[in-house]
Every structure is written in structure tokens, then in C-alpha cells.
Chain A
């Protein structure tokens, strides 16, 4: 019961700053452990120190991986030349780096980041590491609509991404409606999503068997998730969409804090949990659908990135920025390998992410307790 001794356990040096004069207010030194407080005039922000370090490290790694991506390929380009191209200086490697590799990499980065954040948001709401857009039917919805459109002769690559987005959102809406019973039950949400994913997958297969052989092959490649042939026409609208969604992601990063609590506690804290959850899921679905529209369902990125990010930062909620960076890193590295591994034959990037992701998923199911303790969300 020695309260003054307890105080030193906060990690603050017990000293003069601890005990201010009573007139100067209470001795106010308790902060959420691991957080630093940033002040800008009246605004204050909490910064998780470890997350900041992880984010910085990931950003550096991503930069290095991106540079490697630009250099490695059929022909090797010197990193300095590659940098020159990126910075807009004239270079003999303009064609290889600037026209072929850079736009494709940009799509990969954006798609990976979008999947990373989408997975983080959906896992937060479902309180389940298994709940990612490619597990609960969102990617499958996007695939079904896209492949359906392809077999009915839609070949316009400007139109297909929009159809894909519509399909993803529609599928998510159906899952949400069916999982709703006076509230969103986390486990039911995931299970119904898995059910929808299976059903939609068979719809896609149906379209493919009905369709023309060439269309089916094209659809098959799209469905695996591929960056082959992707460039500025995909990158530009994707970047624009993500830019528009950025403020919502900033909101989500804060709203996530309360979405991880139980309904009663969150309500008592004045959080409209139903709305918050709906907002988070909607944002996650839009992000996943947009990314799927650009590159097809690149499996397991949305599942992997948030889980790894959280293990790195050790935060109580899934860190969005780290998830985005990790998603981008996974896709860029996977596509680098996909291009290089069996060169000159290229693999779809989704094959590689699945090769890494599937064993991880199995491991997650084996050791996860939270699958059983899904509870109400």
C-alpha cells in the first residue's frame, strides 16, 4: 500500500517533476505505457513508440525492396540508374525501369497497402485473425461479378475494375445482412462469410465453364491475382481512390481502439459501436474491392499483413500504417520472386502469396484460441 513506491513502477523517474506543488494541479505523470504524447498547440496525439519504430523500419525495408524490384529482372539495372529514372532524370534505362517496372510496381504497392488495411479493419471488427476479405467472400464476390462480365463479353479494362468493386461490396453487404441478428455477432459474421465465399467461388467456376476457352483462361489468371501487364492505367485510378479514402482511414485508426472492446463497455464509453463497426467494415470492403479490381484477388495478403504487423508492434489493436506497409512489402517481394523465380516464365503474384499464406493460415488455426472465443463483437 505504499503508493509513492508504486508510482515509480510507471517507468518515470521518481523525482521533482513527479510531485508538483498542489496549486499546479495533481501530480500527473500516468500515461498509457509505451505511448509518447505529441503536442501541437492545443492538439495532442498519442504515439505508440514501438509502432513508430516498426513503421520506420518497414518503410526503409519497403524502399529497399522497391529499389530491388526496379533493378532486378530480365536485365539488371544499376540501382543508381534506377533511382535516376524514378526521380525523373534522363537515363538509358528509361524504358525498362520507367515504362515496364515502375508502373507495375506502383500497382503492386498500392494493392498491397489497400489489402493490408482492409484486412486489418475487417479483422478488428470480426475480432478474428481469420476474417480477411479473401476468406469472408469479398474477393469471391468481386471475382464472380468480374468473371461473369468477362464471359458475357465485357473486355474493357476500364470497366472491369468497377464491376469488381461492385461485386465485392455486394457480397459484403449480403454477408453483413445475413450475419446481423439485432447486432453483429463476430463468429457468425466469419462463418457466413466463409459460406458465401464457397458459394460465390462455385458461381465463378460456373461462369468459367460456360464461357469461351480463351476467356476462361484470362479469367483464371485474373482470379489468381496478377500484376502482369498492369501499369499506369490501373495505378492512377487506384491511387486517386486511395487518396480519397485516406481521411477515412485516419478516422478508422482512432475508431479501431473502441471497436476492440465488448459492446457494453464501448457503449458505456459513448461509442456508437454499431455505426463504428459498419464504417470500419465498409471501408475495409471498399479498399479490398478496389485492390481486387486492379490486380485480382491476391490471396492472403489481407490475412497476413495485419497479423504480422500486430506481432511486430505488440499493440492492443491492429496497427493500420504498419499493415499497409507490410501489405505493400509482401506484394512487391512476391511479385519480384514471381517474375524471377522461373524466368522467363512469370508466375501470377497470387500464387506466391498463397504459397506463403496458406501454411501460415493453417498454423494460425492450430494455435489460435480466439477462434473458439470469437464471442459477440
Chain B
């Protein structure tokens, strides 16, 4: 139940074939073919509204394809019992809603749902899985607190704990770092790597698919990077293959310089054009004290991308 089935190298249990996804009459993803490599961290990146979250939802059968299909072990998700899928594929949505006044321990325990029956509400395996999940996400001390009263960062870790307690071989995370400060972001992403790492016994780790906003984090943590734009895959491969100055320009419309990350050597995107005052009349350099803050504005240079997708 817990151990991932041994699979041949470079195999992909989860694949998408000619996937077309739409909300009502708006097509968001067109004819997408995708194979999620087993035991690796796949990160999907792209500008806002490029369909990356939509794709993830379809991989987790939260969204029915308009065309094509998502296959788990060669079988279309639509044809598999949802409970069976839930034992293999876990998914953490972008904004999950907890039942009112639920405690942390209770919420994490609900991740065991697909492994339980009404006459098997709490097995030893449940207890082990919940304990492990809570320790890994460092929320064990919060067990008796109400989820309502947690900070955003704590709450996100509790949700991740719930997804981990589900003990699925494949885990899909939709922007899991959104509400976290940088140290917790790194913690979550380290955890993702740790999940995908081979076990000491030599078995492959879990398969993780993450949607991320931050291209540098994506480049640093992904084994397999998928770049999407306007509902299509523009590039895929290792971060070194995908994150190039040309590609960032094409996908995000950003002039940049790609340098090796001083710590890991993975590609690091540095916005290329320095910030300039909007008013051409003022030639004076920005005032000293505000200069460090001014490093951020290049991100704001892409107005159409600042609109959050409603999906």
C-alpha cells in the first residue's frame, strides 16, 4: 500500500494524451501530450493563465478533459474507480477549504480516507502514516489546534501533511509555496526533493508534480521541467535544457541573463534590463536609500501577466 511499485527506469505511470481542457466554452489547454517521469520531480512553469494549474487539475481528475485523456498505468482516469486513483495519486489544490473548527490532527487524518472503510476507521498503518506526515512537515506540535487559528504558512504545511498522509506514489501540488515565506518555501521544496529521493533500500522515490510560479525555484528543484505558454508545452527537459535566455524571453516575455546558481549550479534567471524611471525627463539616479527596493520592479514589467487566473 505504501511502497511504490518498482517500475522500469524512465517509465511514466501518469501520462496525458492529446489532452484538451476547457472551462465552459473557453479552451485553456490544447492537444497536450505529457509524460510524468516516475520517481522524479516534475515542475510545470509558465506565465499566469498559461493553463499549468488546469493541466495539474486534469492530471488529478479534478477536471474532465474536453478531449483526449489522462492515463494512469495505461488506463484512462475516467475509467478507473476514484478510490483506486486516490490510493495512487494525491493532489493538493491551490486553495483547499477545511471543515469549520476542525483540528489539525483530524484534518491530516482525513488524508487516510482512500485507505479506510467504515469498519476500518483507524488502522496502525493510518496512525503511522499520519505520524510520519506530521513530523515531516513539522506540524506535530499543532495537532490539537484548530485549523482556523493557524497562520497561512502553518496551514499550508498542515494541508501538505494531509496529502502526505494519503501515501500516494504520485503527488500533485498546485503552487504549494504560495502562502509561505522564503524559509518555509525552501522547506516545502526540500521536502518535495526528499519525497522523490530513492529510498535507502534502492527503490525509487515518489513521483511529484509541482506547479510553481518562481522560475528560479523551479530550475533549482526540478528533475524535469515543463514550460507552458497559452495552453501548450513550449519546452521540456532538464532545467539546464529548458531555462535559457531565449526561452525565458519567449515564454515570459522577459529579457534576462541566465547564470549558474552559486549554490547548486542550476540555471538562475536574472532579469536583464535594469529598472529605469518611467519619466524620461528625470535623468537623475534613484535616491540612495530606496535603491535596494528598486531591484524588484523588473517583475512588474509584464502587465498582462499580473492578472491572476480565475481558475
Name A's B-contacting residues (CB within 8 A): 1, 3, 5-7, 9-11, 25-35, 37, 42-46, 250-251, 254, 257-258, 260-265, 267-272, 314, 316-317, 370, 375
Which of A30, A33, A45 makes the CB contact (< 8 A) with B131? A30
CA distance A258 to B109 in the complex (A): 12
* A261 CB contacts on chain B under 8 angstroms: 96-99, 110
Within 8 A of A (CB), among B210-243: none
Q: List 28 A–B pairs whose Cβ atoms lie within 8 Å, in order of A's numbering.
A: A9-B140, A9-B144, A10-B143, A26-B128, A31-B122, A32-B105, A33-B103, A33-B105, A33-B143, A34-B103, A35-B122, A42-B120, A46-B121, A251-B118, A254-B121, A261-B98, A262-B96, A263-B62, A265-B96, A265-B97, A268-B92, A268-B93, A268-B166, A270-B82, A270-B84, A270-B86, A272-B82, A316-B100
B124 within 8 A of A: yes
Chain B residue nearest in CB terms to A25: B128
* A10 CB contacts on chain B under 8 angstroms: 105, 140, 143-144
Chain B residue nearest in CB terms to A47: B121
CA distance A27 to B124 in the complex (A): 10
Given A42-B120, A270-B86, A270-B113, is A264 in contact with B140 using a C-beta cutoff of 8 Å?
A: no
The range of chain B's interface size is 35 or more
Interface string of B102-121 (1 = CB under 8 A from A): 11111001110110001111
Which 3 A-B residue pairings sit nearest by Cβ, starting from the closest? A270-B86, A316-B102, A260-B99
Which of B87, B95, B99 makes the CB contact (< 8 A) with A317? B99
A30 touching B96, Cβ below 8 Å: no
CA distance A10 to B130 in the complex (A): 12
* B110 CB contacts on chain A under 8 angstroms: 257-258, 261, 269
B18 within 8 A of A: no
* Residue of A264, A268, A316 contacting most chain B CB atoms (<10 Å): A268
* B102 CB contacts on chain A under 8 angstroms: 316
* A7 CB contacts on chain B under 8 angstroms: 140
B134 within 8 A of A: yes
B97 touching A31, Cβ below 8 Å: no
A45 touching B121, Cβ below 8 Å: yes
Given A9-B140, A265-B97, is A32 in contact with B91 using a C-beta cutoff of 8 Å?
A: no
CA distance A32 to B277 in the complex (A): 56
* B82 CB contacts on chain A under 8 angstroms: 267, 270-272
B86 touching A268, Cβ below 8 Å: yes
Which of A5, A269, A317 makes the CB contact (< 8 A) with B111? A269
* A314 CB contacts on chain B under 8 angstroms: 101
Given A9-B141, A11-B144, A316-B100, is A264 in contact with B93 using a C-beta cutoff of 8 Å?
A: yes
A7 to chain B, nearest CB (A): 6
B43 to chain A, nearest CB (A): 19
* A25 CB contacts on chain B under 8 angstroms: 124, 128
* A264 CB contacts on chain B under 8 angstroms: 57, 62, 91, 93, 96
Given A6-B140, A268-B62, is A30 in contact with B114 using a C-beta cutoff of 8 Å?
A: no
Given A10-B144, A29-B131, A31-B122, is A1 in contact with B114 using a C-beta cutoff of 8 Å?
A: no
